[in-house]
Amino acid sequence: MIYLVITDRGGQTFPRSPEDLELLFDQLVDTLEILSKLKAKGKILAGGMPSGQRKHTFIIEAESNNEVTELVQRLPLWIEHKWEIIPLETWDHHLDFINQYREELGLKYLIDRD
């Protein structure tokens, strides 16, 4: 399965203590390094940060919801961010379903478009 993962830094505001800022930057660098390694391994199919925002967006391939949950919660920034994880249906699967459904409804004229 593939999943769209969107993070948002949310309502954290500055200023913070120098120690807190140092920890935040360490978490950010560590998270980006982990995400880059996961992309290099093919676990993350694509991803990045929307320009000028404090969000991260990526598409991950995983065997289950549990695997995605465990991966995301192991990221150092997990506690700092709000997370949205959306399971995606592939276009190929949906196309197969739609064609089969059209046949079931007897809508052959929509299938034979050649």
95 lies in a domain?
A: no
CB burial of residue 66 (10 Å; 0-12, 13-18, 19+)? exposed
**Which CATH number does the domain housing residue 15 bear?**
3.30.70.1060
Judge whether 38 and 44 are in contact, CB under 8 Å: yes
114 lies in a domain?
A: no
Q: Looking at the 3D structure of the chain, how many domains does it have?
A: 1
88 vs 11, residue with greater confidence: 88
23 lies in a domain?
A: yes
Instruction: Quote the pTM value.
Output: 0.78
- Residue identified by tokens 């991260």 is 56
Model pLDDT for residues 24-64, shown as the tens digit of each residue: 889 989 999 999 999 999 999 999 998 988 889 999 999 99
79 lies in a domain?
A: yes
pLDDT score, position 53 = 85
d(CA 61, CA 43): 6
Domain span at 19: 2-89
Both tokens of residue 19? 């120690």
Question: Of 7, 76, 9, which Cα lies nearest the Cα of 48?
Answer: 7
107 lies in a domain?
A: no
102 lies in a domain?
A: no
Both tokens of residue 71? 């991966």
Question: Of 10, 71, 66, which Cα lies nearest the Cα of 58?
Answer: 71
Distant-in-sequence, close-in-space partners of 78: CB < 8 Å, separation ≥ 6: 72
